[in-house]
């Protein structure tokens, strides 16, 4: 019984001694997951001043080391450094003769991607001056891009510009859009120079009809000028060719204004020349005796030109034959220059009665007279038909007058009887019937 009590007392004393010894060493939790690039300063254990620590350095992750620091509390063991390589490591730490296994995981740093913060114009384009209507040239434009992590870089492409066509003059602001972020720069736009795109005739000259050889008169000519800025009218600085009109008919005139041309036409009349002659009025004398000299007094010709303009001639012509030696109807040829016409006279066989003494004529009828200027007669009558002689014509005219008067008298009498005096009409009818009964 006494031996059992002693044994129990020894066991109790041993139990009291063991915790006292163990409390001298404090082991801290393992650092857990470490991040590449993040500094580590982790307390592994605090040992009794009489304690010891040991580990295999080759098993430590790259960039980490074990550091011991002595203090009043004992020996402090630290895991320090910056891990550089991810991986899983099983470390063995020996604290005062006791091994402890510590697993350490080194992972990659989970750094979010940087985002765009702002953009700005780094360098302006090479061309910043334009004319209205030009297209924007971005050559040389550089844009600085700022990131959320503080970094920045310059881009020269990948952005959108607005506007790209510069329509209005003045200072224009150009918008630069890079992935939704905006910045701006300015260019100067000048008014464009006038460019003539075409011309057309607006008003014709006052004079558009000419004779061959005339010089063109462009007074009154106007053109409409079509430009890149609209239209305007011009009446000066117009060059027209040709200036001398020597081609009969419709002649095309070309108008030059700057480097543009348009055309219009004028009428160039042919040079007027005699085209034909005809007898307009017969001579006063158309009946002759054999051997008489021709008398052209009263003869009037009508001359037509190449432009159908008539003129009347009472002189300046030549008639042949001048002496009438053929019986019956004899043709008289009238010549003016290279033109001819004719008419007829009647030649009788009986000799003419002795004519009264008349003063001699200075010139025979056959001798042509050179006119100083043609005589234009005011609206002469049409050519009378005198081929049968004046006596025959007078007789026919008298017979026509008599017959016409008789017919007119009968018509008046018939109208009087039918519409005016019914009693006399009845009496006249009865008389006619009685006359037929008697027969």
pLDDT digits (tens), the chain, 439 positions? 444 444 444 444 444 444 444 334 778 787 878 888 888 888 888 888 777 778 888 888 888 888 888 877 788 888 899 898 888 888 888 887 788 788 888 888 777 788 999 999 999 999 999 998 899 999 999 999 999 888 999 999 999 999 999 988 899 999 999 999 999 999 999 988 888 999 999 999 999 999 888 999 999 999 999 998 889 999 999 999 999 998 888 999 999 999 999 999 999 987 777 778 899 999 999 999 998 999 999 999 998 876 677 888 888 899 999 888 888 898 999 999 888 999 999 999 876 555 555 555 444 444 443 344 444 444 444 444 444 444 445 556 777 788 888 888 888 777 766 665 565 666 666 665 665 555 4
274, 339 Cβ separation under 8 angstroms: yes
Confidence at residue 206, expressed as pLDDT on a 0 to 100 scale: 95
Confidence at residue 426, expressed as pLDDT on a 0 to 100 scale: 65
Confidence at residue 58, expressed as pLDDT on a 0 to 100 scale: 80
pTM of the model: 0.35
Confidence at residue 21, expressed as pLDDT on a 0 to 100 scale: 40
Confidence at residue 241, expressed as pLDDT on a 0 to 100 scale: 95
Confidence at residue 63, expressed as pLDDT on a 0 to 100 scale: 85
């Amino acid at each position: 019984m006494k031996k059992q009590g002693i044994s129990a007392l020894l066991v109790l004393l041993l139990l009291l001694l063991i915790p006292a010894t163990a409390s001298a060493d404090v082991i801290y939790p393992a650092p857990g997951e470490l991040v590449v690039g993040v500094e580590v300063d982790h307390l592994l254990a605090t040992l009794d001043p009489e304690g010891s620590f040991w580990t295999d350095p080759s098993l430590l992750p790259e960039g980490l080391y074990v550091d011991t620091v002595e203090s009043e509390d004992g020996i402090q063991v630290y895991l320090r450094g910056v891990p550089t390589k991810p991986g899983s490591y099983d470390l063995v730490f020996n604290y005062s003769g006791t091994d402890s296994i510590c697993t350490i995981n080194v992972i990659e740093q989970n750094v979010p991607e940087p985002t765009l913060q702002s953009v700005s114009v780094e360098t302006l384009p090479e061309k910043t001056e334009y004319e209205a209507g030009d297209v924007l040239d971005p050559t040389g434009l550089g844009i600085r891009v700022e990131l959320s992590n503080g970094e920045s870089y310059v881009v020269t492409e990948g952005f959108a510009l607005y506007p790209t066509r510069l329509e209005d003059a003045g200072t224009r602001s150009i918008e630069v859009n890079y992935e939704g972020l905006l910045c701006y720069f300015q260019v100067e736009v000048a008014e464009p120079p006038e460019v003539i795109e075409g011309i057309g005739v607006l008003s014709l000259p006052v004079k558009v009809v000419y004779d061959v050889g005339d010089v063109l008169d462009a007074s009154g000519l106007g053109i409409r000028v079509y430009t890149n800025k609209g239209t305007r009218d011009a009446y000066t600085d117009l060059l027209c060719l040709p200036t001398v009109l020597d081609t009969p008919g419709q002649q095309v005139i070309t108008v030059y204004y700057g480097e543009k041309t348009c055309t219009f036409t004028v009428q160039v009349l042919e040079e007027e020349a005699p085209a034909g002659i005809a007898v307009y009025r017969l001579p006063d004398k158309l009946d002759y005796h054999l051997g008489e000299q021709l008398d052209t007094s009263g003869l009037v010709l009508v001359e037509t030109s190449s432009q159908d303009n008539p003129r009347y001639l009472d002189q300046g012509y030549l008639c042949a034959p001048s002496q009438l030696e053929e019986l019956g109807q004899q043709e008289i040829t009238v010549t003016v220059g290279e033109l001819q016409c004719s008419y007829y006279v009647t030649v009788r066989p009986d000799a003419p009665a002795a004519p009264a003494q008349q003063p001699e004529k200075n010139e025979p009828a056959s001798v042509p007279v050179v006119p100083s200027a043609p005589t234009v007669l005011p609206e002469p009558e049409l050519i009378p038909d005198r081929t049968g002689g004046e006596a025959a014509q007078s007789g026919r005219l008298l017979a026509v007058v008599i017959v016409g008067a008789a017919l007119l008298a009968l018509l008046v009498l018939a109208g009087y009887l039918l519409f005016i005096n019914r009693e006399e009409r009845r009496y006249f009818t009865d008389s006619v019937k009685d006359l037929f009964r008697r027969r």
